[in-house]
Amino acid sequence: MTQQASTSSTPRAPLTSAQREAVQRVVDANRNRPGPLLEVLHGIQAAIGFIPPAAVLVIAEELNLSRAEVHGVVSFYHYFRQTPAGKHIVRVCRAESCQAAGGDALADHARQRLGVDFHQTTADGHFSLDPVYCLGNCACSPAIMIGEELHGRVSAAHFDALIADCERQR
């Protein structure tokens, strides 16, 4: 499998000036809210597209938290990315209804077709593959989302057609 690791085990690149400004803007807008960490992280991910590992220290210092506290929240929630996402984020539902309707086979097919595992991005940066633990489309299991578009009753062939549509958008 061709993979781009999505863990923070690679050397930490410093924040660009634009990233540092975005982090500071989000922290300043939320610092006086009760328990602001989750809102700060969501805001940074919305502004930058991911939570750069170098931002953890800035967030910790600004919110008077330990780096371990901030990193623990970032790494606990699957929603937060520590590397840039691909152009298309493919989310495969892993909830019980989808599993019962063939979701495990679909997840295996998605990993094989894209050549990456969950929480990884293709080497060309075109696709990121993420597990989701319910898309709320149980009546049409198995379900996936590509970007903001929900798809139900997805077979391997349907998945391939959806991916091919995305590939044509390069």
For each of the chain's 170 residues, which pLDDT tens digit applies? 444 444 444 347 899 999 999 999 999 999 999 999 999 999 999 999 999 999 999 999 999 999 999 999 999 987 899 999 999 999 999 999 999 999 999 999 999 999 999 989 999 999 999 999 999 999 999 999 999 999 999 999 999 999 999 999 87
pTM for this one? 0.77
Contact 159, 109 (CB under 8 A): yes
